[in-house]
Amino acid sequence: MTIYIDPPSWPGHGRMWSHLISDVSYDELHAFAARLDVPRRAFERDHYDLPSNRYADAVLAGAVEVASREVVRLLHASGLRRRKQPPLGVSASASRRTSPAPRPPG
């Protein structure tokens, strides 16, 4: 069982984030995250977003530190990579050519 984590270098919501992944299964990843009390809502398609203040906790629990590029490579090699889906009614090629519509306030 190996869980990997990249450095907290992804900004969002006023903090920096890491990605926590498995190269074996989502079940393995969910079990590891549960042991760290990471909420399931932090799971996004194929990884958990982990705030920088939890990075050391993940490493102490056994996550292997790797570069961000290695996270992507491991996900692709394992077949666990899940890309974002285009909005309903929009083809994948069209969604790559256009920028998303602005979100309404509120």
The predicted-structure confidence for 4-61, as pLDDT tens digits, reads as follows 999 999 888 999 999 999 888 889 999 999 999 999 998 988 889 999 999 999 999 9
The predicted-structure confidence for 52-99, as pLDDT tens digits, reads as follows 999 999 999 999 999 988 888 887 676 556 566 666 666 555 544 444
Query: To 5 degrees, how large is the angle CA 73–CA 78–CA 84?
Result: 70
pLDDT score recorded for residue 86? 60
R_g (Cα) of the chain, nearest Å: 15
Q: Which residues contact 42 (CB under 8 A, 6 or more apart)?
A: 33, 48, 49, 50
pTM, rounded to two decimals: 0.72
